[in-house]
């Protein structure tokens, strides 16, 4: 039996301050109601799980519903909030920053909001980065631009020193916007705060363009990423059809998970092959990728290939210990040029003419502003994060699961990365769109 405490959210203390939000506690009065901690949402919504719980008299796993609480732990006029952005760029970061500032300032009356420059480096005084004072006037237009106005960085910093800085600046709540490494760092900060007996709320807002955050439906920036990739794939298709036996290769983000490549291919259904990190395809041999590509060219005389950056790492020769970047992520070999070379060599041995075009738009996509859908999503994530922090919740992330906004412990979200299930209906939809073989090699 799974522990029903698995998704419990920690609280810093008893909330006693009345919320300044003029909400309701009565259903039917046409005013939004305060959310209570007892309001829970099912983790597994399948009928089979329901029947199992009934049969075994087991309490189902539930998650705390996100939203504004009637009582607050922090007195808004005396509250100091801080915002930090870490890791690689992703569409929507500025939207989240803007919505955090606007929500804190106008919903709750929190006027002291600090921007931490250049990621967790900004919490280490020796780097010399100065904290920024954020107001609505400072952030009002930043959503129109990609990137992050606070700057970002990778790599771990001294947790003790970071908490010292938070304590020295009398910070009551820290909003950490970032991916897996950032969230693990935020959790470590929360644990150090707990050891010191401080009351500082630590909130994670999951940012990863790859959509590989565990448990949640999607992360912000992901939708914009494959939206931006879609016209690029269209143009790659035009390049491929413009030459006899034309082959276009488009490399997209996706270090460990291939969601961007898969969704981009389905959104612009001219793609013939999608290669993702989750699949161990073979290049040569019967039913290998190159043979499937040859079959495609013999019948249609053009092909479009979308490959995620982390795909095909098993094809590279082992050359010693793996290297990692400052965030601890494994540095992958570059599959794009490798694939172009292998395709060229394969058809050269067959004395077959092919024209290969290779396109890598990754940094353009990463730096783009959020599209309309992501802009809405970013605002809602930020607002729900504020509500949880003001109520004194800590070491949690806000996310959407089963199309509902919930609070989840950072430790559960970072326990593993989300990956495409090759036996799931999502990947089957990709295969239906591309027409590629179920297995290659």
Question: For the segment 229-261, what is each residue's pLDDT rounded down to a tens digit?
Answer: 999 999 999 999 999 999 999 999 999 999 999
- The pLDDT, as a whole number, for residue 193 is 97
Is 179 labelled as part of a ligand binding site?
Answer: yes
Nearest Cα to Cα of residue 178 among 160, 152, 216: 152
Q: Does the annotation mark 235 as catalytic?
A: no
Give kind and range of the element (H or E) at residue 405: strand 404-409
Residue 113 labeled ligand binder: no
**How far, CA to CA in Å, does 63 sit from each of 41, 265, 389, 403?**
5, 33, 17, 13
Which of 172, 210, 212, 256 is an active site residue?
210
Q: Is 155 annotated as a binding residue?
A: yes
The CATH class for the domain spanning 226-315+323-367+422-434 reads alpha beta
344 is in an annotated binding site: no
How far, in Å, are 103, 128, 170, 204 from residue 84 at the CA level? 16, 16, 16, 10
Q: What digits encode the pLDDT tens for the residues 178-188?
A: 999 999 999 99
Residue 121 in contact with residue 176, Cβ under 8 Å?
Answer: no
- Which of the pair, 29 or 2, is modelled with greater confidence? 29
Contact 212, 310 (CB under 8 A): no
Is 52 part of any known ligand binding site?
Answer: no
Tell me the per-residue pLDDT of 66-121, one tens digit each, with 9 for 90 and over.
Answer: 999 999 999 999 999 999 999 999 999 999 999 999 999 999 999 999 999 999 99
Per-domain boundaries in the chain: 64-219+368-413, 226-315+323-367+422-434
Question: Does residue 61 contact residue 4 with C-beta atoms inside 8 Å?
Answer: yes
> 42 and 363 in contact (C-beta within 8 Å)?
no
Does pLDDT of 344 surpass 80? yes
As its CATH architecture, domain 64-219+368-413 has 3-Layer(aba) Sandwich (3.40)
322 assigned to a ligand binding site: no
What percentage of the chain has pLDDT greater than the value 90? 91
Q: Give me the pLDDT at residue 317, please.
A: 75
253 is known to lie in a ligand binding site = yes
Residue 327: pLDDT above 70?
no
Residue 333: how many CB atoms within 10 A of its CB?
A: 15
Q: Do domains 64-219+368-413 and 226-315+323-367+422-434 have the same CATH topology?
A: yes
């Amino acid at each position: 039996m799974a522990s029903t405490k698995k998704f419990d959210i920690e609280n810093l203390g008893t909330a006693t301050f009345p919320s300044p939000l003029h909400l309701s506690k009565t259903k039917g009065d046409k005013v939004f109601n305060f959310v209570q901690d007892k309001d829970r949402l099912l983790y597994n919504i399948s009928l089979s799980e329901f029947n199992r719980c009934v049969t075994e008299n087991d309490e189902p796993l539930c998650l705390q519903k996100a939203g504004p609480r009637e009582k607050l732990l922090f007195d808004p006029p005396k509250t100091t909030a801080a915002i930090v952005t870490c890791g690689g760029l992703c569409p929507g970061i500025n939207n989240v920053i803007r919505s955090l500032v606007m929500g804190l300032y106008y919903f709750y009356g929190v006027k002291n909001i600090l921007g931490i420059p250049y990621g967790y480096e900004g919490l280490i005084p020796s780097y010399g980065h100065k904290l920024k004072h954020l107001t609505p006037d400072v952030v009002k237009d930043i959503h129109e631009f990609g990137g992050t106005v606070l700057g970002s960085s990778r790599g771990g910093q001294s947790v003790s020193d970071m908490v010292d800085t938070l304590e020295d600046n009398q910070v009551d709540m820290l909003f950490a916007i970032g991916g897996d490494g950032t969230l693990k760092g935020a959790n470590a900060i929360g644990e150090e705060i707990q050891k010191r007996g401080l009351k500082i709320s630590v909130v994670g807002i999951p940012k990863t363009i790859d959509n590989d955050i565990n448990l949640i439906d999607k992360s912000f920036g992901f939708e914009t990423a494959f939206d931006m990739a879609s016209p690029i794939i269209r143009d790659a298709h035009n390049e491929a059809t413009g030459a006899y036996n034309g082959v276009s290769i488009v490399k997209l983000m996706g270090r460990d998970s291939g969601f961007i490549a898969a969704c981009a291919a389905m959104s612009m259904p001219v793609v013939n092959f999608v290669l993702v990190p989750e699949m161990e395809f073979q290049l040569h041999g019967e039913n290998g990728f190159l043979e499937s590509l040859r079959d495609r060219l013999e019948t249609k005389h053009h092909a479009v290939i979308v490959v995620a950056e982390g795909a095909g790492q098993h094809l590279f020769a082992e050359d010693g210990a793996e290297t990692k970047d400052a965030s601890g992520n494994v540095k992958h070999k570059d599959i794009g040029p490798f694939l172009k070379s292998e395709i060229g060599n394969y058809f050269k041995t067959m004395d077959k003419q092919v024209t290969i075009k290779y396109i890598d738009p990754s940094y353009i996509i990463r730096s783009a502003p959020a599209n309309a859908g992501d802009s809405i999503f970013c605002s809602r994530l930020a607002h729900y994060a504020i509500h949880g922090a003001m109520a004194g919740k800590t070491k949690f992330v806000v996310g959407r699961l089963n199309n509902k906004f919930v609070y989840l412990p950072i430790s559960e979200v970072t326990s593993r990365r989300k990956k495409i299930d090759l036996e799931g209906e999502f990947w089957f939809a990709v295969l239906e769109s591309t027409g590629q073989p179920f297995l290659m090699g």
